[in-house]
Amino acid sequence: MDLSSNAWLVRIMRVLVPLATTMAAASTPAHAEDDHSIYYGSRAGMHVTTVSKSGIGTSKAVIMIKHTPKDAKAFCVEYSQDYSMACVKRTMAEVKVGDRVTANCKKRTWTDVYGQAYAFEGKATSSDLMADYIVRNVASGDILDGSSASGYPVALSIFQELCPGIAK
């Protein structure tokens, strides 16, 4: 494989790995350059930097996050194919996310980077859903159907980071 093939593989893995795996429980601070496991959207590079983690797997799970210029550049390069500083500045101005994601793993509820609340309701049994699990948007009461358009992969991956071992 040449270098461009490896770069392509890295881009694909950044999207697939968070959706397919969970992290081990941890309550120690993460190094910013090492952890981009929290996503704010389903497109390539739509991730934030983890600043710290506490209470993972408990009723008070918190992952502190920050959207950095490095994160914005990842989106610009990986999704927009735009290597300009103008894209980085525009992305920094447009992406408005909170500074944390939280969960009550005992109640199986959590919030995403926008503060939107979700509830994990177990394994999906209906063949009408494309999802393995039932994830409900608390505000609307709607069940996410498993598609990227519904936000299911991003919402579930955040829950898996905050409450590892529940949704495998």
pTM of the model: 0.76
Torsions phi, psi of 69, nearest 5?
Answer: -55, -35
pLDDT in tens, 72-94: 999 999 999 999 999 999 999 99
pLDDT in tens, 9-51: 445 445 444 433 333 333 333 333 457 789 999 899 899 999 9
